[in-house]
Amino acid sequence: MHSMQQLSANTGLPFDLAVIGSGPGGYEAALRAAKAGMKVCLIEKAALGGVCINWGCIPTKALLKSAEVFDLCNKAASFGLKLQPGTVDFAEAVKRSRKVVLKMSKGVAFMLRRAGVDVRLGEAVFSTPHDLDIFRDGERVDGVTARHIIIASGAHPRALPGLEPDGTRIITSREALALKSVPASMIVVGGGAIGVEMAWFYAMAGTKVTLVELQPQLLPLEDEEIAEALKRSLQKAGITIATSAKLENVTVEGDTVTAHLNDCQLPTANSALSTQHSALPPAPSALSTQHSALSPTANCQQLTADYLLVAVGVTANSTGLGLENAGVECSRGFIVTDSQCRTSVPHIFAIGDVRGGMLLAHKASAEAAIAVTTIAGGHTHPLDDSMIPRCVYAEPSVASIGLSEKEAEEQGYTVKVGRSMFAASGKANAFGNLEGLVKLVFNAADGHLLGAHVVGHGAVELIGELTLARRLSVTAEILAGTIHAHPTLSESIKEAAENALQE
């Protein structure tokens, strides 16, 4: 604290720190710096809380809760509640999600105000390495000078050639979060977290959904066994899934989108997939009555749907910031940083999606702590991606941390794998959610946990224990010997560890 007070007193600049962006990284950085005694300014061009609170993490989870209710009501009879056939009030579900968003955004505003952070509204653009101009509607309305600057400008949905969103029929997740009514059919391009969550939500609301992924599996970065279990569950929920496939010849005609779904075969090493698509999931085509007839031998299939949702990842918000005026280097659109989140300019830092790496809100918050501690003169440790949990909030949900079984073997480990199926869990049976499993990957040499993967109801809440276990280098013996309450879903973690020890 003393060093921060000195910093504020010794600098001739108005602010010790200026933060660009108020998402999970930006507002966390501002709050931490203010608490450490810095004079802080935060600049935000839209609503406080950034994309995560306003158009990402929070509204999607609110809508996914609505989808869970829709699904539960359809199964109510099996729990002893007889309901008349209901109607999904889509507008009310969206309205509820926006109420949650407003509450969270107001919460961020309150915390910043209480911490004494000076919030300025507008777009920040570097004019010099220490000076930021603030623009609104293209006009300069303000300016800020700071000793240190943290760029937390986030990212925006990526567009693929031929699949450029028009905001009307070809949409991004942002438009998908605020449609006025339930569409009859939708094509979702991209089998990552956003694509899977949106596909499941709309399927539960009554939409016929086709989900298209360029790679051989959904959630390409996850353990193959877990991804396959999720795929089976989504198909059981009525979602048509095409992997190793891409959309071509997309056209919008009136109120429909038409496209060709090309090749459901696994791509070969010499596949003619274009370089723009090489690591990106393409999409299905219009939903037609044939949509359930996808087969490994299908070469080209025409599909039509009301909407095409493009969910193929994001691109960093690194343009338009005037980085060239500050001398900040970028690579492939992302700002280049070292392990302390420091850019090519020593007093300028970058955190969150604009920095690249795993594009997760909690990673941005962790980077905020690293950047602010570094500015304050403290000691930090580089982020270890294998210690960062990943979650997908469909039903069943998916949560993981560390290495997959395949990754561990590729890195030279001899592994022991333990599994526990939720179908054998008393709590899962009582809940009526039998799908999924806990899969734990241990180093056979010393028993330490290398990776943990869960697919099933409540998976995203179980990952906390496994994240701590990974952080503390817990062994299979310790997990197996830890008493878990009965009946709980978390017992499956203990049972998976016991299973590994029996291998």
Q: Which residues have a catalytic role annotated?
A: 486
Distance, CA of 50 to CA of 119 (rounded, Å) = 13
Distance, CA of 434 to CA of 178 (rounded, Å) = 32
327 and 345 Cβ atoms separated by less than 8 Å: yes
Strands 330-331 and 334-335: antiparallel
Provide the 8-state DSSP code for 220: T
The gap between the terminal CA atoms of the chain, to the nearest Å, is 52
CA distances from 326 to 15, 212, 351, 419, 462 (A): 17, 41, 17, 52, 44
425 and 396 Cβ atoms separated by less than 8 Å: no
Distance, CA of 316 to CA of 38 (rounded, Å) = 28
375 and 349 Cβ atoms separated by less than 8 Å: yes
501 and 480 Cβ atoms separated by less than 8 Å: yes
Distance, CA of 236 to CA of 468 (rounded, Å) = 33
**What are the residues facing 145 on neighbouring strands?**
131
Distance, CA of 18 to CA of 240 (rounded, Å) = 47
